[in-house]
Structure 1
Amino acid sequence: MVFVEVSEMWDDLEGIDDNIFEKEKGHMEAESEHNNNEKETQRGIVQQIQKVKTWAKTSMEKTDQNIMRRQLEMMTYIALAMDMYNRMDVI
């Protein structure tokens, strides 16, 4: 009689243990998937940052080139204006 009760209790405990194991396994799988998703998100963010850095560098280089070209144009116009002014004094 006591053996039957202990046996039934053991069966109940085994069922509970299996359920706990399955739940824990499910939690672990969900956590693993969540971690993988976070890693993918982080990779995506890093890629976006790298794209922005590349764009910014290219943009700055183009801006620097435009500034230098404009400075050269301004210097040319100033030199022409000074030359014209000097010629006016001669006449």
Structure 2
Amino acid sequence: MRRTDGNNNIVQLYGVSFSPNTRDFTIVMQYAENGSLRKYLQCHFSSLDWPAKINLAIQITRGLEFIHLEHIAHRDLHSKNLR
């Protein structure tokens, strides 16, 4: 696990727990009040002007740049996983 704090474009991962009984993992992450990017865009895309859409793209790019510079692999990047 790598620390990602200090970057507002990354949802924080607080910890991971493993249950030996059920063999399930539990991931504890920062609460994303607005939900996923996909959900947000489904509700608001038509009302966003171009500067707002460009700002979203810039924020995503900055988050990706941060995880790449930290050598963090996401492996499942799509709009449902962007918060």
Could you state the TM-score of these two structures normalised by the residue count of structure 2? 0.28
Larger RCO (alpha carbons 8 Å, 6+ apart): 2
Please state which structure has a larger fraction of its residues in helix.
Answer: 1
The TM-score normalised by the length of structure 1 is 0.26
Whose strand fraction is larger, Structure 1's or Structure 2's?
A: 2
